[in-house]
Amino acid sequence: MNLSWKEFPDQVQIQLNDTHPAISIVELLRVLLDIEKLPYEEAWNIVYHTFAYTNHTVLPEALEKWSVDLIGKLLPRHLDLIFLINHFFLQKVKQMYPGDESKIMAMSLIEEGE
């Protein structure tokens, strides 16, 4: 059977239950962009409809954070894609909350500062 990538989310659903496997979202995006040469919008749509995420706590100490320096050293292409995802996400946040810079900063995937 030879399916197109557009059909991938109909065949594969991936449930992430913690922060550790979250990098797999970026890895699938990397494969679709860099190897399969799909346009960003199409690749992101596939990724968006493939993954689901559940975290069983909202305590700050349970939410894992990875430094930009660490990801940049270990997975530089993934860091580029995280910045790209964040850029498009923040564009939507800005449309929903025009002029609310504190909301934009709070919702960013990338924390500014130390």
Percent share of the chain, pLDDT over 90: 75
- Tens digits of residue pLDDT in 27-79: 999 999 999 999 999 999 999 999 998 877 777 777 778 889 999 999 999 99
Task: Name the pLDDT band for 7 (thresholds 50, 70, 90).
Answer: very high
Specify the pLDDT at position 44. 98
Contact 59, 51 (CB under 8 A): no
Specify the pLDDT at position 21. 85
Specify the pLDDT at position 1. 60
Q: Considering the entire predicted model, what is its pTM?
A: 0.88
Q: Render the burial of 52-89: b for 16+ CB within 10 Å, e for the rest.
A: eeeeeeeeeeeeeeeeeeebeeebeebbebbeebeeee
Task: Name the pLDDT band for 20 (thresholds 50, 70, 90).
Answer: confident
